């Protein structure tokens, strides 16, 4: 019985740590995403001459940025999960 309680406490501790880490990573990526979008917006404000070119470039840049950020987020999440699982063992 005592062993089970200790095991449950450890499990809750690791689960809480994992959730906190996930929340921190999510906030970090949201901030980075907003910074990148601001950079992108400022880049296109100087190109107001031809709206069709700007809209095509904006769509392409946004798509590329989204892909890049998604890849980074997934890699970071995988690293954190691996680290936490290793720590739990």
Look at residue 10 and tell me whether its pLDDT is greater than 70: yes
* Those residues with Cβ within 8 angstroms of residue 40's Cβ, 6 or more apart along the chain or in another chain: 58, 61, 62, 65
Helix ranges (DSSP H) in the chain: 2-45, 51-88
- Total domains present in the chain: 1
pTM: 0.47
Mean pLDDT of 40-48: 70
Domain span at residue 27? Answer: 2-88
CA pair distance 34, 32, nearest whole angstrom: 5
């Amino acid at each position: 019985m005592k062993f089970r309680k200790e095991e449950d406490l450890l499990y809750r501790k690791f689960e809480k740590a994992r959730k906190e880490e996930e929340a921190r990573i999510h906030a970090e990526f949201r901030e980075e995403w907003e910074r990148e979008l601001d950079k992108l917006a400022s880049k296109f404000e100087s190109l107001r001459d031809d709206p069709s070119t700007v809209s095509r470039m904006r769509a392409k840049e946004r798509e590329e940025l989204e892909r890049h950020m998604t890849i980074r987020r997934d890699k970071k999440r995988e690293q954190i999960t691996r680290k936490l699982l290793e720590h739990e063992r």
